[in-house]
Amino acid sequence: MNPNDLPSPWVLARRAARMNPSVIREILKVTERPGIISFAGGLPAPATFPVAEFAAASAQVLQQDGAAALQYAASEGFPALRERVAALLPWPVDPDQVLITTGSQQGLDLVAKVLLDAGSRVLVETPTYLGALQAFTPMEPQVVGVRSDDGGLNLDDLRAKAAGARFLYLLPNFQNPTGRTMGEARRAALAELAAELRLPIVEDNPYGDLWFDQPPPLPLSARLPDGSLYLGSFSKVLAPGLRLGFLVAPPALYPKLLQAKQAADLHSPGFNQRMAARVLEGDFLERHLPRIRALYRSQRDAMLAALSREMHGLDVQWNSPDGGMFLWARLPRGHSALELLPRAVDAGVAFVPGAAFYADAQDDAAAQRTLRLSFVTATAAQIDTGIAALARAIRATGPRP
């Protein structure tokens, strides 16, 4: 018998069987083909990366603090960076509450490990960030989607589903995938309801600084310091390759998150943390953020103009996000975004079908008509060409019989 015919000696853990490839990462492989205009990725625009500042900071760190930067370090994070994070947040935060993470994606993983058992109920927006579902699912929770609309989470649906939930995971600012922002009144009502129900909130805010006309309302964590856990990221304001994010945890939770972090990777890269702390010194963000905002706003405007022009006569709907990187669109009745995708790719354009972001309603006909369009990595000219190609693909596809 050929030894290759033997059953594999490796037995997978139950949680591994629940791990799935990210639909988006699979789509991204297709869109990396030359010539495809991609509205699919969640990548920030490379033109916004502060390369020169990091070149200078890296030389300074290595010269002045080289051995420490290359040594093992504290799991909590580099003190100067923790202090800077606390100072940048718009509510009083003690640096001792800040845990530097290897991207905010690691924050989601730590939250899942510390707060979810098999069968635990966890509430998410419908739709929600796919990477959070990927982080939560291996813990074998029951993920329950709460309805949302253009103004954010539906609080009646939340009340109906909240009993016994470990936490609600939510993105109040320029949400991924919809670009939606929860308004002031809804936040106030949600904070009140969460306090009444004793429902903890995990607030993910990687896009909050990328507003176009005015800043979004204060984070929920500012209203619920003990009832919320806040996740932040440097990926969209500095560069994702640094893999630096942070979480702000109430003192009751911090030690467990820290222990989970120690098990995961001991600490986030000390060299990167020192460079980031140096780049963030002084008024760097005050100069840098307006440039990102202006660029992304012009790209959003280009996409809105192209959609109005090209989708004429088609019953396609879309929103106009006030910040962030994504726009959310809905195809005419009877259409499926998943079926449209290969035709769109043949026409030279890619997007992410929206159903992937629905935790428990992927088969819903309304979910299948949705798609996420990133407007930040294509130029205005590419946006024009790409949206025209998308409109052609929609016209050619027609509704399902």
Determine the length of the chain: 401
Query: With binding defined as CB under 6 A, does residue 40 bind ligand PMP?
Result: no
Q: Smaller CB distance to ligand PMP: residue 129 or 328? A: 129
Q: What is the dihedral of CA 313, 296, 246, 170, to 10 degrees?
A: -20
Q: Assess 97 for contact with ligand PMP (CB under 6 A).
A: no
Residue 103 vs 138, nearer CB to ligand PMP? 103
Can you tell me which of 143, 162, 171, 359 binds ligand PMP, judged by CB under 6 A? 171
CB atoms within 10 A of CB 124: 26
Per CB under 6 A, 127 contacts ligand PMP: no
Report the relative pairing of strands 98-101 and 370-374 from DSSP bridges. unpaired
* 162 DSSP assignment: -
Phi/psi zone of residue 378: left (φ > 0), alpha (ψ -120 to 50 degrees), beta? Answer: beta
Q: Which one of 41, 42, 269, 323 is in contact with ligand PMP (CB under 6 A)? A: 42
Token readout for 15 is 């949680």
Nearer to ligand PMP, 97 or 233 (CB): 233
What is the distance between the alpha carbons of residues 219 and 103, in angstroms, rounded to a whole number? 19
Lookup result for tokens 């993105």: 171
**Does 105 participate in binding ligand PMP (rule CB under 6 A)?**
yes
- Short-list 18, 60, 25, 53, CA closest to 41: 25
Shortest distance in whole angstroms from residue 395 CB to ligand PMP = 31
CB 70 within 8 A of CB 390: no
Q: Is 233 in the site for ligand PMP (CB under 6 A)?
A: yes
From the list 76, 109, 204, 310, which residue makes contact with ligand PMP (rule: CB under 6 A)?
204
Using CB under 6 A as the binding criterion, the count of chain residues that bind ligand PMP stands at 14
Choices 2-10, 155-163, 232-240, 288-296; region in contact with ligand PMP by CB under 6 A: 232-240
Q: Residue 354, interface with ligand PMP (CB under 6 A)? A: no
Q: How far apart are CA 159 and CA 171, in angstroms?
A: 18
Q: Is the dihedral of CA 323, 205, 175, 154 positive or negative?
A: negative
Nearest residue (CB) to ligand PMP, 267 versus 335: 267
> What minimum distance in Å lies between the beta carbon of 82 and ligand PMP?
16
Asked if residue 176 binds ligand PMP (CB under 6 A), the reply is yes
> Which 242-301 positions form the footprint of ligand PMP (CB under 6 A)?
245
On the 0-12 / 13-18 / 19+ scale of CB atoms within 10 A, 336 is middle
When the beta carbons of 129 and 351 are compared against ligand PMP, the nearer one is: 129
Rounded to the nearest 5°, which phi and psi values hold at 195?
A: -65, -45
One residue of 120, 228, 235, 370 binding ligand PMP per CB under 6 A: 235
Nearer to ligand PMP, 50 or 332 (CB): 50
Point out which residues bind ligand PMP (CB under 6 A).
42, 103-105, 129, 131, 171, 176, 204, 206, 233, 235, 240, 245
